[in-house]
């Protein structure tokens, strides 16, 4: 059963969660759902790629299952592993009176299987969103683990056989493009590039998430953030940090973003000393 009926339905339901989708996002999410294809979302860090997956899950009333990728991620952390301590205790409890064949069949059963995110998402019968976050941070070998899941929505456990999905999860893979993903992985996905929003949409996002902020202050804030993003920074301010900055100004009871305020609160949006120095120079701060 599809999660959405049209791109407009996607836009409306995501907006109810606080995620304001443009036409490209709404259309691609709808098509990924309608075609049963994984969605690869690529773009700079902090543009709302992970939030998109969370918003889809929330809007559809689905469970979010997240696989956070990192260097060194392996099959045991992504797919499944056996509970070796429990297996050892079972072998010791069996004693010498039980044949090894019987013990083997016993310890390689569901009771001893530790399900990790990919297998968990495949086995769920309720609506599920599988988020494979920051796929580009994982080793190339991890992509091979994903291919069977994304091709046939199934996982093979040699001791138990092939476990196929009874209900396909909605799959979102995110990438900051720190390395090129394999063509085999890309072929299985619909592609969506998400960049920083334009000024009007970012202002709408800030007002949606922090409704108590005056519109004029939100406009000042967005204009300043966009100026910062245009600089050569180690880390450009994310949308989440724009929202945090708006909340900071409200908490301080401020109604304007003057030079003193920017200087005092710049740590909300810039997290490197070198970025502070460059911003202070470019913005003419004391």
- At 98, the pLDDT band (50, 70, 90 cuts) reads low
User: What tens digit of pLDDT does each residue of 3-60 get?
Assistant: 999 999 999 999 999 899 999 999 999 999 999 999 999 999 889 999 999 999 999 9
Output the CA–CA distances (angstroms, integers) from residue 259 to 87, 262, 265, 279, in the order listed: 64, 5, 10, 12
24: left (phi over 0), alpha (psi -120 to 50) or beta: alpha
- List, in order, residues 6 or more apart from 174 with CB less than 8 Å away: 40, 41, 42, 49, 50, 53, 131, 132, 133, 134, 135
Residue 111: per-residue pLDDT: 84
- In the chain, where the domains are located: 7-75+116-193, 80-114, 199-283
Indicate the CATH number of 7-75+116-193 among 3.40.50.300, 3.10.310.10, 1.10.8.50, 3.40.50.720: 3.40.50.300
At residue 129, φ and ψ (nearest 5 deg) are -110, 120
Q: Is the pLDDT of residue 247 over 80?
A: yes
Eight-state DSSP code of residue 41: E
Q: What is the mean pLDDT of the chain?
A: 90
The model's pTM: 0.87
Q: Is the pLDDT of residue 93 over 80?
A: no
Higher pLDDT residue, 159 or 207? Answer: 207
Residue 143: per-residue pLDDT: 86
Q: Is the pLDDT of residue 254 over 70?
A: yes
C-alpha–C-alpha distance, residues 250 and 214, integer Å: 9
- At 104, the pLDDT band (50, 70, 90 cuts) reads low
- The proportion of the chain whose per-residue pLDDT surpasses 90, expressed as a percent, equals 65
C-alpha–C-alpha distance, residues 37 and 4, integer Å: 14
Q: Is the pLDDT of residue 108 over 90?
A: no
- At 97, the pLDDT band (50, 70, 90 cuts) reads low
Q: What is the mean pLDDT of residues 249-275?
A: 91
Q: Is the pLDDT of residue 86 over 90?
A: no
- The torsion angle over the Cα atoms of residues 251, 229, 68 and 40, rounded to 10 degrees, is 130
């Amino acid at each position: 059963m599809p999660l959405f009926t049209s791109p407009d339905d996607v836009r409306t339901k995501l907006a109810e969660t606080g995620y304001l989708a443009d036409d490209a996002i709404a259309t691609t999410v709808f098509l990924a759902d309608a075609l049963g294809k994984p969605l690869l979302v690529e773009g700079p860090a902090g543009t709302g790629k992970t939030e998109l997956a969370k918003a889809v899950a929330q809007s559809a009333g689905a469970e979010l299952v997240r696989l956070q990728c990192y260097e060194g991620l392996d099959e045991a952390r992504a797919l499944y592993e056996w509970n070796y301590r429990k297996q050892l205790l079972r072998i010791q409890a069996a004693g010498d009176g039980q044949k090894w064949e019987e013990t083997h069949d016993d310890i390689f059963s569901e009771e001893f299987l530790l399900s990790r995110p990919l297998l968990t998402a495949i086995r769920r019968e309720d609506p599920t969103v599988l988020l494979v976050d920051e796929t580009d941070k994982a080793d190339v070998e991890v992509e091979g683990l994903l291919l069977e899941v994304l091709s046939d929505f199934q996982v093979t456990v040699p001791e138990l056989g092939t476990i196929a999905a009874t209900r396909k999860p909605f799959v979102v893979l995110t990438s900051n493009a720190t390395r090129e993903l394999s063509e085999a992985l890309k072929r299985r996905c619909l592609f969506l590039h998400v960049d920083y929003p334009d000024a009007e949409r970012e202002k709408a996002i800030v007002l949606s998430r922090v409704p108590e902020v005056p519109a004029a202050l939100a406009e000042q804030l967005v204009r300043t953030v966009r100026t910062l993003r245009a600089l050569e920074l180690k880390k450009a301010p994310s949308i989440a940090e724009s929202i945090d900055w708006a909340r900071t100004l409200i908490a301080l009871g401020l109604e304007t973003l003057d030079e003193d305020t920017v200087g005092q609160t710049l740590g909300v949006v810039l997290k490197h000393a070198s970025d502070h120095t460059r911003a202070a120079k470019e913005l003419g701060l004391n």
